[in-house]
Amino acid sequence: MTNILLIYTGGTIGMVKEYDSGILKAFNFNKLLKHIPELNQLDCHIDSISFEHPIDSSNMNPTHWIEIANIIEEHYESHDGFVVLHGSDTMSYTASALSFMLENLAKPVIFTGSQLPIGDLRTDAKENLITSIQIAALRTGGKPVVREVGLYFEYKLYRANRTTKINAEHFQAFASLNYPQLIESGVHLTVFKEYLLKVHPRKKFKVHKIMDRNVAILKLFPGLAAVVLESILNIPNLRGLILETYGAGNAPNEPWLVDILRKGISQGIHIVNVTQCSGGSVQMGHYETSEQLKNLQVINGKDITTEAAMAKLMYLLGSNISESLFKTVFETPLRGEMQ
Ligand code: ASP
């Protein structure tokens, strides 16, 4: 029988409404399992582990990511697949981070959650959870079908580091605008094999646990003042900045902006150009308004999401990559996160 490990971190899926205030709060995992007797009917063995204090995912930070990575590392040999229950708010960040932290992953790690608590009559939690477990247990020729970090929500499995939360109301809360879905759940589970990440069977599974937090994100907007950009780049110990630019990677080509960025880069800060658009790619040099960034040797984020760019930046800054190789490595797809 396939062994699946369910890792409960918190999120709406396991929340209950507080009696007096009506506020949603995370609750005990064992109570959550009682709401889904259907789990006993699945054709796999399920073990579960819960965070000692389940959290709303707005409280997630890299320490929690390491906790998830540690659980997976400890159970990597004993289990065939992993399902991580997580709040949807920062799920794309955590799942992207795990995709980098788990190098040469050869088993499925499926993130899921829900928009309504599992105890709610109209909940989306049951389908999300049950299908995620089925996907984690899918095998062909004795091997897992999915061998990467995925995110399953509302009938679709996506590559996790390609996703973004796009809706706080609809059950379809996530989108992957630059990469096709990996599996669709209808009457049958349809697997789009050609889009699954290929693994190197002989490479050893390795868990990376150093994520550098000396990073920041700045979203450009018309009217951005020089002092704002300057102040950010002057943050003590800052090592990386994600610059969310317009359209195909464009920014004002005014001298003050170029000068401030040049100064930051000369101080060793890695600046990554990521588009504010949900879909499409940075193309530095396509417009006059991105040529200056190209000339400054700003890192090309191509079609990466902001969430994956942040995770990759923390991961690469935490690895021992030489300063001269950093740009090349960032611009190379490591886990299928960019074209
Ligand atoms: N605030 C919740 C969380 O991210 C929302 C959810 O689970 O969907 O933990």
Q: Whose CA is nearest to atom 1 of ligand 1?
A: 56
Residue 335 has pLDDT above 70, yes or no: yes
319 half-sphere exposure, CB direction, 13 A CA radius: 18
| pLDDT for residue 15 | 84
* Ligand 1 centroid distance, CA of 86 (Å): 7
| pLDDT for residue 90 | 98
Residue 37 has pLDDT above 70, yes or no: yes
Tell me if 54 CB under 6 Å of ligand 1: no
Can you tell me the mean pLDDT for 224-243? Answer: 98
| 215-330, CATH topology level | Rossmann fold (3.40.50)
Tell me if 115 CB under 6 Å of ligand 1: yes
Q: Looking at the chain, how many residues does it have?
A: 339
* Ligand 1 centroid distance, CA of 145 (Å): 28
* pTM of the predicted protein model: 0.96
| pLDDT for residue 30 | 72
CB count in 10 Å sphere of residue 332: 9
pLDDT digits (tens, 9 = 90+) for 163-198: 999 999 999 999 999 999 999 999 999 999 999 999
| pLDDT for residue 134 | 97
Can you tell me the mean pLDDT for 28-53? Answer: 84
| 2-207, CATH topology level | Rossmann fold (3.40.50)
Amino acid identity, position 177: L
pLDDT digits (tens, 9 = 90+) for 258-303: 999 999 999 999 999 999 999 999 999 999 999 999 999 999 999 9
**Domain boundaries for CATH 3.40.50.40 within the chain:** 215-330
* Ligand 1 centroid distance, CA of 106 (Å): 28
Can you tell me the mean pLDDT for 43-58? Answer: 93
Tell me if 14 CB under 6 Å of ligand 1: no
R_g (Cα) of the chain, nearest Å: 21
Which among 85, 66, 60 has a CA at the least distance from the CA of 7? 85
pLDDT digits (tens, 9 = 90+) for 107-160: 999 999 999 998 889 999 999 999 999 999 999 999 999 999 999 999 999 999
**Domain boundaries for CATH 3.40.50.1170 within the chain:** 2-207
